Amino acid sequence: MHDLPTDWTALCALVFLLGMRHGFDADHLATIDGLTRLTRRRGGAFARWCGALFSLGHGAVVLLIAALVGSASAQWVPPEWVDGFGTGVSIAFLLGLGVVNLRAVLAAAPGELVAPVGLKGRWLGRLAQARSPLGVAGVGALFALSFDTLSQSALFAATATQFGGVGRALVLGGLFVTGMLVTDGLNGWWIARLIARADQIAVVASRVMGAAVAGVSLLVAALGIARWTSPVVEAWTEGRELAFGTTVLMVIALGYGLALWLARRARPMTTP
């Protein structure tokens, strides 16, 4: 909590960026990928909306946490160990997701689409195979019942109440959900387009995006470890949260742009 900006506008901007970055988590990408493919295979007309539906379900839990923490903030303050433990859990997940997604890119056979690899989806089993829009939103809600999401939402809400009660907590929760909705919604649309193409362009694009997601996961984890273990790095990064959040989003955006550029270069190779 002490690393978050003390200015309300800066805090709002940071939480929105963190919501967008949260939407690029490999677990989100992998689950939305699977839901979109499954829905399209079953002939569901809402396949391209799976990302947005997943995000709305996820966001409903985030807003509920914001309301609960905002209401109880006068009597309850998160213990200091929550911040450190949450950081450790996040770093561990980012390292794991980065490694497995990098392996997926390197191990993919020529001409094979690279699907994102997640960890949480495996815990849900058949529950992750939703058959309706409400079911997809339900999967998103289940994904929010994890320590990293719960602790992050609680810390944002507790910080927001310093500026004026539960209303401010809900504002921050709404900004986080909006940022997540943007990236999850775009991801669902992107996956639906890749599935519809299923050609060399889709193969190239999926590999580049897979490598970008793996690289971002590993880099963010490395920065977290450096801040955690080095007071010098922690002091240097203090006050630069907005810059780091923007950089992460720019890396993903550049990966998306590079995927499109390489895909266009690959187009003549597929023309008879």
- The angle that helices 200-229 and 241-266 make with each other, rounded to 10 degrees, is 160
DSSP 75: T
Mean pLDDT of 58-74: 80
Q: Which of 12-26, 55-69, 203-217 has the lowest mean pLDDT?
A: 203-217
Band (271; pLDDT cuts 50, 70, 90): very low
> Taking the CA of residue 203 as centre, how many other CA atoms within 13 Å lie in the half-sphere pointing to its CB?
13
What's the rounded mean pLDDT across residues 195-199?
64
pLDDT confidence band for 160 (50 / 70 / 90): confident
**DSSP symbols for the chain:** -TTS-SSHHHHHHHHHHHHHHHHT-HHHHHHHHHHHHHHHHTT-TTGGGHHHHHHHHHHHHHHHHHHHHHHHTTT----HHHHHHHHHHHHHHHHHHHHHHHHHHHHPPTT-------SHHHHHGGGG---SHHHHHHHHHHHT-SHHHHHHHHHHHHHHGGGTHHHHHHHHHHHHHHHHHHHHHHHHHHHHHHHHH-SHHHHHHHHHHHHHHHHHHHHHHHHHHHHHH-HHHHHHHTT-HHHHHHHHHHHHHHHHHHHHHHHHHHGGGG--
What per-residue confidence (pLDDT) applies to 134?
86
pLDDT, residue 56, reads: 92
Higher pLDDT, 127 or 158: 158
The arithmetic mean of pLDDT across residues 109-129, rounded, is: 64
* Three-state secondary structure call for residue 97: helix
**pLDDT (tens digit per residue) in 218-245:** 887 888 888 878 888 877 777 676 677 6
Among 221, 8, 248, smallest CA distance to 95 is for: 221
Which band of pLDDT confidence, cut at 50, 70 and 90, is reported for residue 62? confident
Ranked by mean pLDDT, the top range of 17-21, 150-154, 166-170, 179-183 is 179-183
